[in-house]
Structure 1
Amino acid sequence: MPSVITGAEIRTCLGDTTTTFKALVEGVSGVSPLRFHDTAKLNVTHGYQIDDGDVERPRRAAGWLTECVAAAAAQAGLDATTQRVTAIVGTGLRELRSVERFTADGVPVLPEELHFAAAVRAALPGVADVITVSNACSASGHALAIAADLLAADEADAVVVAGCDATTESMLTMIGRVGEEPTTSVRPFDRDRTGVLLGEGAAAVVVQPRGDGPLVLGVGLSCDAHHETAPDVRGIVAAMRDAHERAGITPDEVDLVLAHGTGTALNDPTEASALSEVFADVAEQPLVTGVKGAIGHTSGAAALTSLVLAVESVRAGWVPPNAGLRTAIDEAAGLRLVVDEPAPISGHAVVQVDAFGFGGVNAVCVIEVNP
């Protein structure tokens, strides 16, 4: 049974939901020189960080999460004192940055602060349970799947689904080791892409069994365990087909795809090949865009961030272009990639949102947005 999105908010390097979407349509990128890190040591010089002051405050990710949950809950009119409300937070690294700072600089952190219960309850004091799901870069997509199950089983009246991650030196170190030269921007599906860069952000949506808003038709999952980091076409295709089956749709009903699009040598051709396979028999291909060229890879927040921006696209009637894409890779030759300028879209659309994580932990969401 479909669930309804009754509230939503995001934070990215470009701002809140409204300012982020406006910047995407205008072709603005939020990439900038890294703050708070020794770039020479890391071999990473740029990222998509949230500008929240010159001094790195403790538990930045938790702070953005609180803001997003508060805004989404207010839009939904949640009352956690009279409703059964559960929160599920998807994240790639939790508050790993707090552990790094404790180790390097002695900045205090409590074990319970590494999860996000306090951050959610600061915005929604009466929430019953807060569950942190650490499922790599598809974490908030998995959180949405769990929320749909909770509502279907009548175990909650509403579920706050969220995702958040901040830049960590651990991930920056890994990125710096796999490239000879530092990457200065993410260029999804581009022949001259040079790799991924981290983005910072948070997202929160409220889903309920009834109400006015976009419908979550289904979330498809797969865990192919093909490789520690390399994606697998078969696992991604399985997640896409699972999503379509759960949503009760066929591929020809999809109007728009928000791609995972990391700008990496392995992900882009694999995702493009999977999309080409799933939509092979569709006469009018769906539009395909992605947001990481403008806001970076926001890890655990990526799935929900794309979902919220997909809703904004349909409501505005414009799909933002793939930032950083100039010449598409061969594997994407048959896809309707949105390039250079925003593409028009009708006031009603079925949207597929892709999110893939290390270890083949994949989540694909299908939503329906009405005017």
Structure 2
Amino acid sequence: MGVTRGYHVTDDEGDDKDEPPLRAGRWLARCVAGAVRQAGIDPARERVSVIVGTGLRELRAVERWTLDGVPVRRRDLHFDAAVRAVLPDVAEVITVSNACSASGHALALAQDMLAAGEADAVVAAGCDAMSESMLTMIGRVADAPTAVLQPFQEGRAGVLLGEGAVAVVLQPRTDGGARPLATVLGTGLSCDAHHETAPDAGGIVAAMRDAHSRAGVRPRDIGLVLAHGTGTALNDPTEAAALREVFDGTAPGPLVTGVKGAIGHTSGSAALMSLLIAVESMRTGSVPATVGLSEPIPEAAGLRLVIGEPADCDARVAQVNAFGFGGVNAVSIIRVDR
């Protein structure tokens, strides 16, 4: 398939010869249950909905059904049964398949549901597992197997897949309520349909500006950016150009980092994976360096990329970027109060 490396999750059961079924749903169930427990909400007493963003759903199960004769129920390709196995009283489970920005869209929909009064709390989640189809796709667009994912690196070789699940709980802020880990100020979306796979700076800029408008912030208010940063020939210069355009005139500008060099491209869960890093960076005052980055591409000149060592950070507002095939973009703005 032209792929020799990846960022795998080690399963609790089975091995390479006995692959557990429905891996993404298993991880998702654990994450959703943990997030609900940590937030202290009770789906039996409150209206709790779950929105799952995914790029592939349980595509691997379809491959095994087709190639190996391992049966799968079609309803299990979505995540209702996986979530209800651990949270049977949730009001509804919605699966959103929006490519690599899917969990960013899940976050936006969660905000909308709360604003419309359709839920007391919403779990926004993301999950994806590797599949032969996706591995074959990334292998065929590279001249040689990629050894390491290097966001914004000059001479970068391409993307590598990660996998996993992530979940956060959103609730309306109330006086006297528990102090949240972070506040979601707004999420901007765009679907520019510029190309099946190639990103478009105009569509990305539109999503960023939509996010700023919805959040009620200006570019100079943002102290940290979690970049999409896929390490590919097209995404990195396009994203860098969009960031330079949006943050022009805000010198020194926000710190910029990305997580995919450390965990791979986790597809539909990528947006929320980055959001968690943004929250922890602002809570701890330390931003992790972009793994694999030592010599930035020319298009990133002027950006405050975090290279080599963690950077001290006193930011209170962060921007989280997530972009998908077809120009399906999601940009979220969050705030942490220390």
Normalised-by-shorter TM-score class: over 0.9
After TM superposition, the structure 1 = structure 2 runs for residues 349-368 of structure 1, keeping only pairs within 5 Å, are 349-368=316-335
Corresponding residue number in structure 2 for 1:64 = 27
User: Does the Cα contact within 8 Å between 1:147 and 1:159 map onto a contact in 2?
Assistant: yes
Where does structure 2 lack aligned partners over 5 or more consecutive residues?
Answer: none
TM-score (norm 2): 0.96
TM-score (norm 1): 0.88
Alignment of 1:45 with 2:37, yes or no, is no
1:176 aligned residue (139, 150, 159): 139
Corresponding residue number in structure 2 for 1:155 = 118
Corresponding residue number in structure 1 for 2:183 = 215
Aligned counterparts of 2:85 and 2:147: Cα–Cα separation in 1: 36
Give SS of 2:195's match: coil
* Paired letter, 1:204: A
Identity %: 68
Alignment of 1:323 with 2:282, yes or no, is no
Aligned counterparts of 2:194 and 2:155: Cα–Cα separation in 1: 26
Give SS of 2:170's match: strand
Corresponding residue number in structure 2 for 1:5 = none
User: Does the Cα contact within 8 Å between 1:72 and 1:206 map onto a contact in 2?
Assistant: yes
Corresponding residue number in structure 2 for 1:343 = 311
1:271 aligned residue (236, 239, 258): 239
* Paired letter, 2:112: D
User: Does the Cα contact within 8 Å between 1:188 and 1:325 map onto a contact in 2?
Assistant: yes
- Residues 168-190 of structure 1: CA deviation (Å, up to 9, x unaligned): 11111111111121001100000
Give SS of 2:130's match: coil
Alignment of 1:293 with 2:261, yes or no, is yes
- Residues 174-232 of structure 1: CA deviation (Å, up to 9, x unaligned): 11111121001100000121000110010000000024211000000000000000000
* Paired letter, 1:358: F
1:142 aligned residue (89, 95, 105): 105
Alignment of 1:83 with 2:46, yes or no, is yes
Alignment of 1:205 with 2:168, yes or no, is yes
User: Does the Cα contact within 8 Å between 1:88 and 1:133 map onto a contact in 2?
Assistant: yes
Give SS of 2:85's match: helix
Corresponding residue number in structure 2 for 1:228 = 196
User: Does the Cα contact within 8 Å between 1:252 and 1:284 map onto a contact in 2?
Assistant: no
Deviation at 1:283, TM superposition (A): 2.1
Aligned counterparts of 2:279 and 2:64: Cα–Cα separation in 1: 36
Range with greater deviation from structure 2 (308-317 or 357-366): 308-317
After TM superposition, the structure 1 = structure 2 runs for residues 180-199 of structure 1, keeping only pairs within 5 Å, are 180-199=143-162
Give SS of 2:45's match: coil
Alignment of 1:92 with 2:55, yes or no, is yes
Aligned residues: 329
- Residues 111-141 of structure 1: CA deviation (Å, up to 9, x unaligned): 0110001111122110011000000000000
- Residues 21-76 of structure 1: CA deviation (Å, up to 9, x unaligned): xxxxxxxxxxxxxxxxxxxxx01010011011524210111011011001100011
* Paired letter, 2:316: A
* Paired letter, 1:360: G
Alignment of 1:310 with 2:278, yes or no, is yes
Give SS of 2:103's match: helix
* Paired letter, 1:81: A
- Residues 257-291 of structure 1: CA deviation (Å, up to 9, x unaligned): 00000000000000000000000010221000000
Aligned counterparts of 2:268 and 2:330: Cα–Cα separation in 1: 12
Give SS of 1:150's match: helix
Where does structure 1 lack aligned partners over 5 or more consecutive residues?
Answer: 1-41
* Paired letter, 2:4: T
Give SS of 1:328's match: coil
1:105 aligned residue (68, 77, 89): 68
